[in-house]
A and B are shown apart, each in its own frame.
Chain A
Amino acid sequence: MESLLYSILGVLVSLILAFTVGMTYMGLSRKITARIQNRIGPPFYQNFIDAMKLYSKSTGIHHGVMHHLGPAFIMVTSVMSLMIIPILNDSAFFTNMNFHGDLIFLLYIMTFGPLGMALGAGQTGNPNSAIGVTRGLSQMVGFEIPWVMAIIALMIRYDTSSIVDIMNIQADAGRWIMFSSPFTFIAALLAMLGMFRYSPFDIVGAPTELASGPMSENGGKYLFTMMSSSSIFAFAKLTLYVNLFMGGADNLLVLIIKTFALYMVPLLYGTVSPRYRTEQAVRYFWGWPSFFGLLAILYAVFF
């Protein structure tokens, strides 16, 4: 019983951590984008204000049960991914459910939410939502290929599919996988561009084109849930990349430095890129990123 309470507490703490860090990153991203575009931009805590405002609003209408459940679906994905991904090296407190799933499970649980949310967006009947969803799914087929190749290369090279094992291997070797398997890292990093949906891959939300796409019929608490879910998810994904390729983190400060550095990649790439069309985005991932993925697999098999 005590262990159960302890683990629930662990989940809550990681949840709050992920929420705070994710929200701050989102806020910082707005600030950074603004500075690049020579604007002043909102303060970095603007997202917290937005979130509080959205949460305190009472919702008057809904479009049916699936619409109502959509945000809950997407939240499940974010929290589940966060629970499967170890947050720190050898931390007793942030164990969560690390030992209950592996990389391929993670890959699949990550798709649970988008599909659930897609159903919610579908029921609203807003054509923009549905268009956004079809674009998002198409893009997912695109970036999953290099991403899967990277994961398979890791599994071949290190004979394990557990994230914790991969972290331990790096700790033992004293060398990050980023350097020992460079092609794997490149393929995964390029796939990450699609995962984070910044320009040029912001075809799902597509401001000024689709009116924020799948989110467009959601307001108040629904939007708050989606917003916090995407922050948590962003943090989870960044932590996963740090764990897999940058040797994990020994304490929270290191984790934050590493994730922030990683976060800059899609963000800065995005600020200077115009938006792709859907088929361009899909094909992009089947070009160089998949080529590097293939190299990664070959490298893992032969070296």
Chain B
Amino acid sequence: MNSIVIIFLIFLAGAVLTYIGQRLSNILGSSLFLLTIFAATAQFYLRVNTGDIFSFSLNGLEMEWGITPISWLFSLIVLGLGSMAAVYSISAMKAKERLGYFYFNFIMGIFSMMGILLSRDLVSFFIFWEIMTWSSYMIVIYEGRSVQKVGIKYFLFSAIGAYAMLMAIVIIYSQVHSVLIEDLVYSFSSFTLAYKIWLPILLLTGFGVKAGMMPLHVWAPGAYSHSPMAYSSLFSGALSKMGVYGMVLVFSMLITQIPEHLLIREVIAWLGALTAAIGTLWAIAQDDAKKLLAYSSVAQLGYIITGVAVGTELAMLAAIFLAVLHALFKGTLFMVVGAIEKQTGTTNLTEVTGLIRKMPWTFIAALMSIIALAGIPPLGGFVGKWMLYEALIASDHYILVVLIFFASTAGFLYCYKFLFGFFLGQEEKEWAHVKEAPATMVVPMLIFSVLLFVLGTFPGLLLKPIDIGMQELGYAASEGHYWTMSVLFNEYGNAIMLQPILYAIIAIFLFFLVFLTAKAFKGTRYVSTKDISSSGEVPGEFENLSFKENFFQPFLRAVEPVMKRQIDWYYTLVGNGMEALFNFVRRVYTGNGQTYAIYAIVFLVILLLLKSNLFG
């Protein structure tokens, strides 16, 4: 049997068996759950090679499953993050209800994402896309009635995307008489101009919903923050990347074939940058860590969308690199929030404080991913950001780069809010009992932290597969003129050598650490956070010295005009308008026979008046 089919069978059988196993016993369910995901991962990496193809015919439709370098690359995100999140969720979901339901949908989520990556035809792509939407919707509404609205919003937007995509697929079939992606690419240049414009727009609407592109992102903050955190890391880290994957395909295969002056690239790039800027501002305003991370995901996806849309070699390289990095650090951060939620019972940044000494390993993981998120050298995030800036400048998007830069700098604000809110600040008695999270939760986070560090010094490890994938998509080889193992180049030939820089940073750091600790760190005594200088007064035990509320109020005041309204408001406006319209239309049915008679006569009169126009 074909190895690709075996993977799908493992997932499907595993999902069902896990569901049944969970009914029998907790341990059986969890171990089947892990076994399924690890078996599929092992099967995928050991037995499946790029170029493997499985084709079959369904009701006369040629269908094809296969793997290309670019989908192999995205499978790293799905299976890597998926397996770690699975390990994490065993402890994170302990003692929760309806675990079978959760595990089932978790496996189905990974299954559908792998399906999307392996589909070489549009019909199976669409089917897997719908399975992905359904399974994630199931998990969004995991907590029941309280999240009904969030779930409906998510589903509504997914449906809009799905219909757009379905329409595109139908148009494609009517034109090409085949659903294979390669046939589409081959014959796209012979389409009429109208189709050439509409097809990418329809497809991008579908992908844009999942990637959370403005103005289609409104579902994201709610859905990311209301799913169980074990799934949110996969949701924001991997599931949204399926939108990016679709966009990469559309931009590299279809949009290259339409004239530049139509500005589709520019429009999407600007939407991406606006998503980044506005998402960041809203992230700063959040007090709940889950919401903060959710908005931050929207913002980070904005950079990626911009990179993909600009679509030069370097921009694409940067975007895909950032996509993988985002999966790593945002996956970790959602796990961190999950760990804190489990240990303290809340994720409100204004309540939890001073956990650094209680949860040191979680703090290290959070710190590393925050540094990567902020794009500060020497961690991986910097590499992606640097390449994105250089790409935007080299491709003459000057205002765009300023906007992205603004988003990135403003990103520091919520980064600090996250770290300070949870880990630093006053240590309160209320949280004195908190212990470090269980090892199975901490280890996945730490693995990702180490990866972030490695990729910051040797980005070539990841840029190599991206390069191969991009060559498949028709780009020239980027190795040598944009990067070598640990050196990055820009368009002008200037370089950054990451390795010596890392060594220098570590050397200087150690030097001053030794310099500081020459008189022995042990010799100094730890004093509590109540023992601080406050104008000579000694703060009492129960005096509240926490600085938590209105954390960035002055900044938010400065950007107030931009944040007056959420996009939600406009949607609500449209919704209310529609409702009013329907109410009006309803009045047509008065229930009075005389009125209906008038309608009939008026209709006839109109017909007679327009007779020559309509039937002539």
A123 within 8 A of B: yes
Q: List the B side residues contacting A65 at CB < 8 Å.
A: 356
Q: List the A side residues contacting B545 at CB < 8 Å.
A: 125-127
Q: Which of B72-80, B404-412, B466-474 has 4 or more CB atoms under 8 Å from chain A?
A: B404-412
B484 within 8 A of A: no
* Distance, CA A66 to CA B355, complexed state (A): 12
A159 within 8 A of B: yes
B596 within 8 A of A: no
* Distance, CA A293 to CA B386, complexed state (A): 21
Cβ A125 vs Cβ B496 within 8 A: no
Q: Which of B239-247, B340-348, B413-421 has 4 or more CB atoms under 8 Å from chain A?
A: B413-421
Cβ A278 vs Cβ B558 within 8 A: yes
B397-446 contacts to A, CB under 8 A, are 398-399, 401-402, 405-406, 409-410, 412-413, 415-416, 419-420, 423-427
Query: In the complex, what residue of chain A is closest to B551 when comparing beta carbons?
Result: A134
Size of the chain A interface, CB-CB below 8 angstroms = 76
A258 within 8 A of B: no
* Distance, CA A123 to CA B363, complexed state (A): 12
Cβ A144 vs Cβ B425 within 8 A: no
* Distance, CA A127 to CA B532, complexed state (A): 10
Q: List the B side residues contacting A142 at CB < 8 Å.
A: 558
B183-214 contacts to A, CB under 8 A, are none
Which of A64, A79, A216, A217 is within 8 Å of B508, CB to CB? A79
Which of A100, A144, A277, A301 is within 8 Å of B496, CB to CB? A100
Cβ A102 vs Cβ B494 within 8 A: yes
Given A119-B424, A130-B420, A145-B402, the answer on whether A58 and B552 have CB atoms closer than 8 Å is no
Cβ B494 vs Cβ A80 within 8 A: no
Which of B375, B516, B530 is within 8 Å of A125, CB to CB? B530
Cβ A108 vs Cβ B377 within 8 A: yes
Cβ B558 vs Cβ A282 within 8 A: yes
Cβ B554 vs Cβ A279 within 8 A: yes
Q: List the B side residues contacting A217 at CB < 8 Å.
A: 532-533
Cβ B356 vs Cβ A137 within 8 A: no
A155 within 8 A of B: yes
A148 within 8 A of B: yes
A230 within 8 A of B: no
* Distance, CA A66 to CA B427, complexed state (A): 14
B543-557 contacts to A, CB under 8 A, are 545-547, 551-552, 554-555, 557
Shortest distance from the beta carbon of A109 to any chain B beta carbon, whole Å? 6
Given A76-B509, A127-B545, A225-B516, the answer on whether A134 and B555 have CB atoms closer than 8 Å is yes
* Distance, CA A118 to CA B500, complexed state (A): 26
* Distance, CA A138 to CA B551, complexed state (A): 11
B95 within 8 A of A: no
Q: Which of B229-237, B297-305, B519-527 has 4 or more CB atoms under 8 Å from chain A?
A: B519-527
A257 within 8 A of B: no
Cβ A125 vs Cβ B425 within 8 A: yes
Shortest distance from the beta carbon of B536 to any chain A beta carbon, whole Å? 11
B466-520 contacts to A, CB under 8 A, are 490, 492, 494-497, 500-501, 504-505, 508-509, 512-513, 515-517, 519
Cβ A138 vs Cβ B382 within 8 A: no
Cβ B419 vs Cβ A160 within 8 A: no
Cβ A108 vs Cβ B426 within 8 A: no
Shortest distance from the beta carbon of A167 to any chain B beta carbon, whole Å? 13
A222 within 8 A of B: yes
Q: Which of B389, B500, B515, B516 has the most CB of A within 10 A?
A: B516
Cβ B554 vs Cβ A80 within 8 A: no
Which of B389, B419, B490, B505 is within 8 Å of A122, CB to CB? B419
A140 within 8 A of B: yes
B258 within 8 A of A: no
Shortest distance from the beta carbon of A53 to any chain B beta carbon, whole Å? 16
* Distance, CA A76 to CA B501, complexed state (A): 11
* Distance, CA A109 to CA B375, complexed state (A): 10
B177 within 8 A of A: no
Q: List the A side residues contacting B521 at CB < 8 Å.
A: 62, 68
A175 within 8 A of B: no
B349-384: CB near A (< 8 Å → 1, else 0) gives: 000001011000000000100010011110000100
Other than the known A105-B386, A111-B412, A160-B492, what 18 A-B pairs have Cβ atoms closer than 8 Å? A58-B519, A76-B508, A115-B374, A119-B420, A125-B545, A130-B424, A134-B555, A137-B555, A148-B401, A156-B393, A165-B494, A211-B533, A217-B532, A222-B516, A278-B555, A279-B558, A282-B558, A297-B399
B-binding residues in A (CB < 8 A): 58-66, 68-69, 71-73, 75-76, 79-80, 83, 97, 99-102, 104-105, 108-109, 111-112, 115, 118-119, 122-127, 130-131, 133-135, 137-138, 140-142, 144-145, 148-149, 152, 155-156, 159-162, 165, 211, 216-217, 221-222, 225, 277-279, 282-283, 286, 293, 297, 301
Which 3 residue pairs across A and B have the least CB separation, nearest first? A125-B529, A122-B424, A278-B554
